[in-house]
A and B are shown apart, each in its own frame.
Chain A
Amino acid sequence: KQEVTQIPAALSVPEGENLVLNCSFTDSAIYNLQWFRQDPGKGLTSLLLIQSSQREQTSGRLNASLDKSSGRSTLYIAASQPGDSATYLCAVDLGGSQGNLIFGKGTKLSVKP
């Protein structure tokens, strides 16, 4: 059974720091991997999607990497800002239909001004 783990559960950093969020999964047979952002009381916003054949994706200050063989992904946030404060969720797509996702429990990020 696929399990997704995110470490750390919570992270607090000063503004301007670069940081890395970690995600691991137990079964490498994935269709793709997604990183989401969730603000308190809100829905999920997709940040980056990495297909199983890709190694990384970049969007602005965000860079996500994928190592399927080791069951790991990282989300790198450069020059963090207070507006980056949110919970970041990693999810692996099992295929069938895009959106058949197994989620980690998230990393709650707080960026202090």
Chain B
Amino acid sequence: DAGVIQSPRHEVTEMGQEVTLRCKPISGHNSLFWYRQTMMRGLELLIYFNNNVPIDDSGMPEDRFSAKMPNASFSTLKIQPSEPRDSAVYFCASSSRYTEAFFGQGTRLTVV
């Protein structure tokens, strides 16, 4: 398996624009997590899904953030409208009942 695949690897966008981050979890994993990493706050869990259902979205900072998992092999994290303070590295991770979480390489988002 190629591991958790995230796209794009880098995204630069202007304030106010919509940004969509994508994640393909490891095949067979039934849990998917979105994390955000910043220098100030470190790694923070934004939301996680179990069997495609959102379980805990208490980490989503604002209503501008939304996440979907339409099927077991794909998830998106959308920010609309984006703001400069959303600049961070966004990680997706997946796990199963029998394995620990495996992380993707991340998407570095810069909002100017």
Residue positions of A touching B, CB distance < 8 A: 32, 34, 36, 41-46, 49, 89, 91, 96-106
Contact = CB atoms under 8 A, between A and B. Distances in A.
Interface residues of B, number: 26
A111 B55 CA distance: 41
Interface of B: 4, 31, 33, 42-45, 48, 50, 55-56, 91, 93-97, 99-106, 108
Nearest to A89: B43
Mostly, the B contact residues are strand
B105 A99 contact: no
A45 B34 CA distance: 16
Given A34-B100, A43-B106, A46-B102, A97 B93 contact: no
Given A99-B101, A100-B48, 17 more contacts: A34-B100, A42-B106, A43-B103, A43-B105, A44-B93, A44-B103, A46-B100, A46-B102, A49-B100, A91-B43, A96-B50, A97-B95, A98-B100, A98-B101, A99-B93, A100-B33, A106-B42
